[in-house]
Structures are given as structure tokens and as C-alpha cells.
Amino acid sequence: MKKRFLGQNKLEVSCIGLGCMGFTQSYPPFPEKKDSIATIRKAVELGVTFFDTAEVYGPFENEEILGEALEPFRDNVVIATKFGYDFDNYKLDASNRPTGLSSRPETIRKAVEGSLKRLRTDHIDLYYQHRVDPNVPIEDVAGCVKELITEGKVLNFGLSEAGVNTVRRANAVCPVCAVQSEYSMWYRKPEEGLLDTLEELGIGFVPFSPLGKAVLTGRFNKDTTFDKTDFRSTIPRFNHENLEKNIVLVDYVKELAEKKQTTPARIALAWLLHQKPWIVPIPGTKKVERLEENIGAENITFTSDELADIRKHIESIEITGARYPEEQEKLTGL
């Protein structure tokens, strides 16, 4: 696969990574452990070198799966994981999402030891704060991670869902390698200042949900409903009334795919790759065929005229409904 670089340290990764959350959280049914490991190892075989997990996915189980899957290839892959929850006060909310944020230095130090053990490694390539903790100054968080970098336990510092001011303050203490936030044709808020800031500071950007939680694959229609165990069942823009309106964007992406003789998923991912050379999307999947499809996006190209036309069309389509339930949106820093 083609390579890209994140941050001032030029962390080299495949231009498309693999988001691993879905193996254990949010989108059941979950595969057997052996099948998850096989899919992850197939990704390595296909050239993926960038893998994203978090201690809270499971919790813990996701890191364990990734650690076992990647142990034979550890020197050839980049592992990103996340800290930011106090598991002494951890619980799930009504949407089956974690609560109990904590980025106190003592919590971070406890978290890194657990992640290193589960990932079967002596270092974490990219260590993100999972969500901004309003009770801990970001300077304290960055200072703690800087110490971990000095100790060799962490190689690069990242932030997830952090706003511009938080990014600047953190970067002043410890250089930020990458910021991870939701970004796609379906959700473009990072374009409102964040991307410009990252470019100014030389920080990479890692879009999660680059396929709009699968809506941009074309799998859903206006009548699709989601089981209550599926995280999308709690998301306003996926409820029936909003989805019926939002499917207009999906139909447009399908039209683009037909013109390019490819798939909607590849169109959506290729569009992201064309936005900036330091953007590395991490689509998640549990199936090898989807993995192969997603990776194929690296070969889809757009002319400048095509990109301008796409921009014009997607900006004319209004997406209705919030991207998260209200209580989850409060945890984001955008």
C-alpha cells in the first residue's frame, strides 16, 4: 500500500488504516476471536500497517485481540491505542457507551501499563487521549505523555475529538503527532478550523467513521432500522425521519461510484484521501471482503474539476440530525 506520514516525527503508516473497535463494540454481532485475528492478519498481508484500538473497546478485549494478532508482525506495524477512562468508576450509559472520563496522570500511567501488556509490546506507537477531560488541564495530560515518551513506553502523542484550542495548548507542551476525529462526506465539521490548524502545526489527521458508520457504503436505505444493540439506533441522524432525508447524500455517492465504475465505499474513502496528504482514514470492518474493498480506495483518483463538482454537490445537501446522542456529544471537544 501507499504510505503517508503523520506529524513532525514523520510517523509512516499505510494510507488507509484499520479501525478495530467493531470487533468488540458498538456493531454486533461480534466475530469469534480467531476470526477477528484472521481478519487483522489478512490486513497485514494486504499492506495495512496502521491499526487503531483503545482500552475501553470491550473494555480491554479489543487490545488483547490486536496484541495477539499483531505479535508476529510487531516490528512492521504501527499500533495506536487510547487512554482516558477511570475503570474504578467505569460504567455504560443508556446508549451502551462508556462514562467515567479521567486523564489524571496517575490514571494515564496505570492505563499505559495495561495496554502494553495486552498489546504484547514494549511501546505504543501512537497514544491518544480518547476524549478531552474537562477536569484535567490538557497541559498536565501532555506533560504526562511527554514523560512516557522519554521513558520509551510511548513514541507519539495523539488527541481524539479535541478542539483547536486544546490542540494548540497540548502541542505547546508535547508535540502532537495526530488528531483523530470523525470526518467524512457525511460529517465535515473538522473543516471549520481544525484542519487549517493541523496543517499550520504539522499535525496529521486520522478520520474515524470515514464511511459515516457504514451509511456511505450504500448498504442502507430510507427504510432501514437498527437493532437496539446497534449503536446507530441511538444516533439521531439514523432515526427514520432523518435517514429518509439524509439518504440523498448516499444516492449521490452511489451515482459517483457508477461513473467511476467502483463502489460507494471506495468513493467516500478516496474523497478523504484527496483532501490532504496527511489525512489517513481508518475504516472499520469485520469482513475480509470489505477490508479488500476499502483498501482499493487508494487507487481511485479525482481531477481538480471532479473534486470541485463533488464539493459543490455535497455542500448543497443538508444532513439532518446530530451525529451522537446528546450525552455523547458533550464529551467531544470540536
pLDDT, tens digit (0-9, with 9 covering 90-100), for 313-329: 999 999 999 998 876 66
Range of the domain at 136: 3-329
Does residue 90 form part of some domain? yes
Q: Does 303 map to a domain? A: yes
Distances (CA, A) of 47 to 2, 3, 50, 73, 79: 9, 10, 9, 12, 14
C-alpha cell at 198: 493541523
Angular region, 261: left φ>0, alpha ψ -120 to 50, beta rest:
left
**For 12-38, what is each residue's pLDDT tens digit?**
999 999 999 999 999 999 999 999 999
pLDDT at site 160 = 98
Question: Where do we find the cell 484535567?
Answer: 136
- Report yes or no on 160 lying in a domain: yes
Is 102 contained in some domain?
yes
Give CA–CA dist 63/52, Å, rounded: 9
List the catalytic residues.
Answer: 57
pLDDT class for 334, splitting at 50, 70, 90? very low
In a domain, 334, yes or no: no
| 203 within a domain of the structure (yes/no) | yes
pTM of the model: 0.96
Whole-number pLDDT of residue 268: 98
pLDDT per position as a tens digit, 100-111: 899 999 999 999
Here the CATH number for the domain that contains residue 111 is 3.20.20.100
Query: Tens digits of per-residue pLDDT, 106-164?
Result: 999 999 999 999 999 999 999 999 999 999 999 999 999 999 999 999 999 999 999 99
pLDDT at 97: 56
Q: Percent of the chain at pLDDT above 70?
A: 94
Mean pLDDT of 194-208: 98
Confidence of residue 333 (pLDDT cuts 50, 70, 90): low
Lowest mean pLDDT among 56-60, 168-172, 174-178, 212-216: 56-60
Residue 23 lies in a domain: yes
Are the C-beta atoms of 173 and 142 separated by less than 8 Å?
A: yes
Local confidence band at 228 (pLDDT 50, 70, 90 cut-offs): very high
How many structural domains are present in the chain? 1
